[in-house]
């Protein structure tokens, strides 16, 4: 009997959403274990035994315990290569895919996360928005999306001609940003806009969105 996959986290966490999306793309059953971040459960035992940094999500499967969402998605994609959507590409093309996974983590995520914190999460928690931080990071995101526009003029998806982890990793932050005025930065670039419409309409992502309804 296959070992049960458990994901500890919050449906509001963009990092946890990345893992949920991967599991749904792979059509894998999993148990979601909510972590009450409002009362600081993620900063206490027993959660710290799963992730000593006190951040969600955490992943369990038998005696395997993982944290860091992108490490978890790579384990799922490679470990269940024969299930659902491929998400990774064999051979030399994997190198290009890896480049764009790194771009998401180091170029896109830092600025998109800051914008979402200011425009989505701060209002949710009743904290004033820092307009100077919004302006600064909008400019940075625009430059990143200029690079994306050029890349997506050459291939349908960031890693090549099929949907992969390089695209999936963007979904939580894009979905958040598209609910704010930052949407204009995506909409004004035709190839980026078409890519966003494509990846956000995937059935697996719709299941993640439904977790917050």
State the alpha helices, DSSP H only, in the chain: 14-25, 69-79, 93-103, 109-116, 122-124, 131-152, 165-168, 171-177, 183-187, 190-200, 203-210
Domain 92-209 sits in CATH at: 1.20.1050.10
pTM above 0.75, yes or no: yes
In the chain, the percentage of residues whose pLDDT exceeds 70 is 100
Domain ranges of the chain: 5-86, 92-209
122-154: pLDDT as tens digits: 999 999 999 999 999 999 999 999 999 999 999
Superfamily per CATH, domain 5-86: Glutaredoxin (3.40.30.10)
């Amino acid at each position: 009997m296959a070992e049960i996959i458990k994901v500890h986290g919050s449906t509001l966490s963009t990092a946890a959403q990345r893992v949920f999306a991967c599991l749904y793309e792979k059509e894998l059953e999993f148990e979601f274990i909510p972590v009450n971040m409002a009362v600081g459960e993620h900063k206490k035992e027993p959660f710290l035994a799963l992730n000593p940094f006190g951040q969600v999500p955490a992943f369990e499967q038998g005696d395997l315990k993982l944290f860091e969402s992108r490490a978890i998605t790579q384990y799922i994609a490679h470990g269940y290569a024969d299930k659902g959507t491929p998400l990774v590409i064999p051979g030399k093309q994997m190198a290009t895919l890896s480049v764009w996974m790194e771009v998401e983590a180091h170029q896109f995520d830092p600025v998109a996360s800051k914008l979402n914190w200011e425009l989505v999460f701060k209002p949710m928690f009743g904290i004033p928005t820092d307009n100077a931080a919004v302006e600064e990071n909008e400019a940075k995101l625009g430059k990143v999306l200029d690079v994306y526009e050029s890349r997506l003029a050459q291939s349908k998806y960031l890693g090549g001609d099929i949907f992969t982890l390089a695209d999936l990793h963007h979904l939580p932050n894009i979905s958040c940003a598209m609910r704010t005025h930052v949407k204009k930065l995506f909409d004004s670039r035709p190839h980026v806009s078409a890519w966003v419409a494509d990846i956000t309409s995937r059935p697996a992502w719709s299941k993640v969105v439904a977790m917050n309804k």
